[in-house]
Amino acid sequence: MQSRREPNRTTSSPSPDFGARAARYDELRPVDENWWELFDTLVRAGDLHGRRVLEIGCGTGALAVALSERARVWAIDTSPEMLAVARDRAGSERVGWRVADATALPFRDGWFERVVARVVLHLLDRPRALAEAHRVLAPDGRLAIATFDPAHFDRYWLNELFPSLERIDRARFPSPDVLESELRAAGFPNVELARVSQTAEITRDVALAKVRGKHISTFDLIDGAEYEAGLARAEHELPDPVRYSVEWLVVAATARSR
């Protein structure tokens, strides 16, 4: 399937290409115990069960489908390739999938009780996307977000291999303070922040497959020479297993009553 560049209005740097990573996304970023722990935390923080929910930047649809067992779910993404994988997922018929941009949602004002966004805010023009989330939420509706806490980038397992990766991701992912003030400006006066700290262990082969498959979009933003040098070092230096921590920020924000 032909790949397509994704819109990224946050910087003038090249945009990550999710179309190109759709086919292997689930293999390289699997739904595992940590995924379910974060899912349960998001569901609780966002009070998502039994609600009319929109997921923005749904990717290959794991969250939307899992949630659709207990909620009425719509899910949008700009990448037709990611959505094609989502539509092939078991249970996908329960979700209303749409190719759409989070900054121009094809839904009427106040249509949803909840909006959820997992690992996508760093890719968006956040003031516009948060204003759109607010527009489609009913009065007192709730926005639930999972994103990486700045602590995630302190000792990430790829930092030493790819020296510019940490700087790029610290600049892309909003700090809790920035996110909170962006949410307030977009009409979410009540913001609750929580942190989820996880540990992960993967075999050296799995770690190498992730690097070779450029499993995180940050790989699209480092130059080719740095990538090749880091991959060569990874092939020589990665231990077996690779252990690392994953530091999440979970945010629940309630929309101001209209």
Phi, psi of 244 (to 5 degrees): -155, 170
**Residue showing the smallest CB distance to ligand SAM in the complex:** 59
119 φψ region: left (φ > 0), alpha (ψ -120 to 50), beta (else): left
Q: Which of residues 58 and 234 has its CB atom nearest to ligand SAM in the complex?
A: 58
**Distances, alpha carbon 241 to alpha carbons 28, 37, 154, 183, in Å:** 16, 22, 20, 39
Q: Which of residues 3 and 245 has its CB atom nearest to ligand SAM in the complex?
A: 3
At its nearest, how many Å lie between ligand SAM and the CB of residue 78? 4
Q: Which of residues 7 and 110 has its CB atom nearest to ligand SAM in the complex?
A: 7
Judged by DSSP in three states, 19 sits in helix
Q: Which of residues 76 and 202 has its CB atom nearest to ligand SAM in the complex?
A: 76
At its nearest, how many Å lie between ligand SAM and the CB of residue 57? 3
Contact 19, 79 (CB under 8 A): yes
Contact 104, 133 (CB under 8 A): no
Structure tokens at 65: 């489908």
Count Cα atoms within 13 angstroms, Cβ side, for 38.
26
At its nearest, how many Å lie between ligand SAM and the CB of residue 128? 9
Instruction: Kindly list the residues in this chain that would bind ligand SAM in the complex (CB under 6 A).
Output: 6-7, 18, 56-59, 76-79, 82, 101-103, 118-120, 123-124, 217
At its nearest, how many Å lie between ligand SAM and the CB of residue 67? 12
At its nearest, how many Å lie between ligand SAM and the CB of residue 141? 19
Q: Which of residues 68 and 78 has its CB atom nearest to ligand SAM in the complex?
A: 78
